[in-house]
Amino acid sequence: MIVKLPMLRFTVQGVINMGRITFDIPNPTGQWTTRKMTFQILSFIILVSITGLMAGLYFVPQFLEQPSHIVLEREGKFEIRQYESILLSSVKIIGDQYSALRNGFKPLAGYIGAKEREGIKISMTAPVIQSSGNVENEWVVSFSMPSKYNKVSLPEPKNDQVYTEEMMQTTAAVLRFSGNANQQLLDKKTALLLKWVETSGYKISSKPKYLFYNPPATPGFLKRNEVMLVVNSEKTDD
């Protein structure tokens, strides 16, 4: 793009050249001479914008209500937590783990957004919880409901896929990790948690649950993921 002004005309090469702008100026003979200048401030603005976007995605969970719990024990990234009872809105989806998480999110988002029912919207919470179901390739995807609701006051879903359940007060072993949660990474972290629980003297009483805190667009290194195993509240002597 060329912009002509009295005694000055600009040729903007764009962001792909890190803000470089080519401009022509007249020399004493009346001919146009080309000069190039790196427009560093444009690069700085782009960098700040990207950084701000990533920071926003990273801090989103900090502004959402999360299930109430206390940490009873901590060893590195491993924790034993005591959770209060959690009211969940859930769906069951058949498919691989990744597609089930994606397909389960949509009806739950429609439910809390009051798109398929009357009444007010329900605030989004974190994390999204996923666990395997009772049949092959079945996954349960859940949103925890804000603590102000109980089974009576929670709006009734109109979508037959969505149902309400309650996770009672629970002691759980949890491993926190970052990264894009593909099957390989989830299997690896689940194995690490299983080993730690066994060596720590706790007895496992549930299938693994997977907790995802950040929006999908969040870069993997900024994501907060967790794998959880419900355990007995007291260590065994074995």
Query: 43 CB contacts (<8 Å, ≥6 apart)?
Result: 18, 19
The verdict on pTM exceeding 0.85 is no
Q: Where do the DSSP E strands lie in 133-183?
A: 138-144, 163-167, 170-177
**Structure-block tokens of residue 89:** 């809105």
Question: Which burial class, exposed, middle or buried, applies to 238 when counting CB atoms under 10 A from its CB (0-12, 13-18, 19+)?
Answer: exposed
List the beta bridge partners of residue 26.
32
pLDDT, tens digit only, all 238 positions of the chain:
444 444 444 444 444 444 454 545 555 555 544 444 444 555 656 655 555 555 455 555 667 999 999 999 999 999 999 999 999 999 999 999 999 999 999 999 999 999 888 889 999 999 999 999 999 999 999 999 999 999 999 999 999 999 999 999 999 999 999 999 899 999 999 999 999 999 999 999 999 999 999 888 888 888 999 999 999 988 876 5
Strand 78-83 and strand 69-75: the pairing is antiparallel
Where would I find the H helices in 6-139? 40-59, 97-112
Which amino acid is residue 218, in one-letter code? Answer: T
Which residue in 198, 178, 173 sits closest to 188, CA to CA?
A: 178
pLDDT for 161 equals 95
Contact 163, 140 (CB under 8 A): no
pLDDT at res. 57: 52
Q: What is the dihedral of CA 66, 154, 173, 98, to 10 degrees?
A: -90
Pairing relationship of beta strands 20-26 and 69-75 according to DSSP bridges? unpaired
Q: Taking phi first (over 0 means left), then psi (-120 to 50 degrees means alpha), and beta for anything else, what does residue 30 get?
A: left
Q: Which two tokens stand for residue 76?
A: 């590195």
Determine the pLDDT at residue 173: 98
Write the CB contacts of 93 (distance below 8 Å, at least 6 apart in sequence). Answer: 99, 100, 103, 104, 138, 139, 140, 141
Separation CA 151–CA 206 (nearest Å): 23
Domains of the chain in start order, with CATH, are 2-60 (no CATH), 67-230 (3.20.80.10)
